[in-house]
Structure 1
């Protein structure tokens, strides 16, 4: 059993936002209820069609993505995606992003009244917002604090806020402190880093390529703050998970690895189960 911001999770392995689709795409590879939590694709107030194709490009040791964050909007999510996830007995963390603080607050109000939302993850620095380029990016600590506060004050007690921070080597501790001071009950260190597609479009870089930097930022945050942290960035193997947990993270998020091998999260859950044998070390 893993404890995260007051939540009791079946496993320390969570799915990262956007990498499990609606959940239906992963259900064939293992029960969603066995995961620590399923983080939804990032939900916005209004529906978004997403960016132009191609949206994914492999790069050495990583993955470039320029998705534009397609989603059905909060009303569509609450009507179709959330009920299905709850039928699967998944613990649901809803990722959110918005064009303004007012939109973030409205998202929090609507999600706060929806049964079955375990937590809300604020996507503070989405790197691949598509041609609109209209979503907020919290580049400064005061912006991080304002975004977290806008969400936290609209959620009911018992629905924690997770602040997702980009693992930049500069000022990540200041951003983390601002998020905690504003009411975030936990942090997620492992957002994609800014990159560019071969045609020059803005993109996010995820996968093993960002792992060492994410691990450095994780250790810096944990050295400075006493707060639960979920680690992301290049989590692929059991060794990756154990390294993050040994560094002090309470859980991990598996993201880009699922797009290469959709069994990754289920395999890691099984390997980390108390019933697993010491020989189980899937890659």
Structure 2
């Protein structure tokens, strides 16, 4: 029985809309490939969950270069949702994902409600997938290119379609490029979402002053990294107080302290994004750090931290 004495009494387990995670640390879609790419840098079995690169029905080549630009405290990307497509993901990527112990969430994207529904139905037929994350920052081509994630009615409609065609827990990923993030959260909750993740990237741009040209070939791109953390934290706090379903915090999380802020603000789990590029072992470090923090504060369960922010009058 000696091995039991070596185990920490701290319980990091959380539940995200029916997905039981060993700990609250996940990796964000688009920053961790399909999982296997990071196997030499981080213990995949120990992470709470992996969210794979967004999957569309057909393969996408993405945007032409330049597609990534470093910015102060962050980065701009205009990858253009490059991915292998549904068929190749199932045949070539899913077998490996089935071999690891952590939870696997597949991010899906489409240009119409029907495409989201089709992806949800087909992915639900295969073992090894624990949940779907719905990227609603995509343009609805049938509605003139308006992003699903900026219109509450459209966001609710795509959520309802995915839920109707899937047996898996559904997480909806919210765009921060809206006036009222709480209204968007309430809309997808009404559509049946099991959980919400936020934030996706903020829209930004960078200019080469010598060439007087945009640094990105796409002109604009998504801003991520430490620079967006205060905005993400504020939005997570707002959404956690507006809905009754679990919230996953994303945005500039690279340290244990960052993760703790999101959890205390009301997030049940967090996703590590841009930090994976400059510190591939960040997830391992944060998981260890959470255990240490709880032990130091005489807490036995991470759940006690979630939403524990005291917003009373400061003296």
SS in 2 for 1:92: strand
**Residues 183-223 of structure 1, C-alpha deviations (whole Å, 9 max, x = no match):** 10100011111122532622100011111111111111122
Query: Residue 96 of structure 1: which of 99, 108, 112 is its match?
Result: 108
What residue in structure 1 maps to residue 120 of structure 2?
A: 108
User: Does the 8 Å CA contact 1:124/1:163 hold for their aligned counterparts?
Assistant: yes
1:28 deviates by 0.8
What residue in structure 2 maps to residue 253 of structure 1?
A: 271
SS in 2 for 1:99: coil
Query: Residue 231 of structure 1: which of 232, 249, 252 is its match?
Result: 249
Query: Residue 162 of structure 2: which of 146, 151, 173 is its match?
Result: 151
User: C-alpha distance in 2, partners of 1:169/1:100?
Assistant: 20
What residue in structure 1 maps to residue 203 of structure 2?
A: 194
What residue in structure 2 maps to residue 243 of structure 1?
A: 261
RMSD: 2.1
User: Does the 8 Å CA contact 2:149/2:174 hold for their aligned counterparts?
Assistant: no
What residue in structure 2 maps to residue 212 of structure 1?
A: 230
Query: Residue 180 of structure 1: which of 183, 186, 189 is its match?
Result: 189
174-183 vs 21-30, which moves further: 21-30
User: C-alpha distance in 1, partners of 2:156/2:170?
Assistant: 12
1:136 deviates by 5.1
Structure 2, unaligned stretches of length 5 or more? 1-12, 208-213, 298-315
User: C-alpha distance in 1, partners of 2:199/2:39?
Assistant: 24
User: C-alpha distance in 1, partners of 2:290/2:205?
Assistant: 35
1:50 deviates by 1.5
SS in 2 for 1:117: coil
Q: How many residues align?
A: 272
For residues 32-111 of structure 1, the aligned pairs below 5 Å read 32-111=44-123
User: Does the 8 Å CA contact 2:132/2:171 hold for their aligned counterparts?
Assistant: yes
1:60 deviates by 0.6
Q: Which runs of 4+ in 1 moved over 3 A?
A: 133-137, 273-279
Q: TM-score, normalised by structure 2?
A: 0.82
1:263 deviates by 1.1
SS in 1 for 2:130: strand
Structure 1, unaligned stretches of length 5 or more? 128-132
User: Does the 8 Å CA contact 1:232/1:254 hold for their aligned counterparts?
Assistant: yes
**Alpha carbons of structure 1 residues 98 and 134: separation in structure 2 relative to 1, 3 Å:** farther
**Alpha carbons of structure 1 residues 270 and 254: separation in structure 2 relative to 1, 3 Å:** same
SS in 2 for 1:115: coil
SS in 2 for 1:273: helix
What residue in structure 2 maps to residue 269 of structure 1?
A: 287
Q: Highest CA radius of gyration, 1 or 2?
A: 2
1:170 pairs with 2:179 = yes
SS in 2 for 1:253: strand
1:66 deviates by 0.8
Q: TM-score, normalised by structure 1?
A: 0.90
What residue in structure 2 maps to residue 130 of structure 1?
A: none
